[in-house]
Amino acid sequence: ANVSVCTPKADIFSAGLILFEMLYPIKTSHEKYKLFEDLKKESKLPENFKETFGQNLVDLLISLISEIAEDRPSASDLLLTFDNTDLDDPSLEDSILEEKLNRLNLTSSFTGLKSSPILNTSAINESSFEEDSSSFCDSSLGTEYE
């Protein structure tokens, strides 16, 4: 039997998968399965990932999802990495947003749904929010908050 042990390095691997999923929207569960299998077995990122996000982020992700736990950075190493890289570069944020919008548009054209860059909030009826907001009750805990 294949036994997995939860360690801080396992948490780093999970953080790598979560970071990847946040940056690279996945359309279907089949695509997610295939991408995660490629990531786990070969630390293989999609072809367009490097050109979209740059080598620094590619290197970081590959280190996070390394098959060999000892090769993954510690949480302390990650903090140093974030302090010493250009991951907070505004152009990176723009490229992430652009990639997400492109993938959303591809999904919309595939499904026939129309996407709008602007949410029409005028259609929301304000009266639907007119509840007593002075307190609420979490029925699962049986606790009232005020």
What is the average per-residue pLDDT within 115-121?
43
Q: Is residue 141 part of a domain?
A: no
Mean pLDDT value across the chain:
72
Q: Model confidence at 1, in pLDDT bands (50, 70, 90)?
A: low
Domain of 29?
8-115
* Angle, vertex CA 96, rays to CA 40 and CA 115, nearest 5: 105
Residue 120 lies in a domain: no
Q: For the chain, how many structural domains are there in total?
A: 1
Q: The CATH number of the domain where 18 resides is what? A: 1.10.510.10
Per the domain annotation, does 34 fall within a domain? Answer: yes
More confident residue, 4 or 110: 4
Side chain identity at 119, as an amino acid letter? L
pLDDT of residue 145: 40
H or E, element range at 144:
strand 143-145
Per the domain annotation, does 137 fall within a domain? no
> Greater confidence, 13 or 130?
13
Q: Is the residue at 146 inside a domain? A: no
Judge whether 44 lies within some domain: yes
Which pLDDT belongs to residue 109? 56
Look at 18-32, 54-68, 94-108 and tell me which has the smallest mean pLDDT.
Answer: 94-108
Contacts of 26 (CB under 8 A, 6+ apart): 32, 35
Max mean pLDDT among 51-55, 61-65, 95-99 falls in 61-65
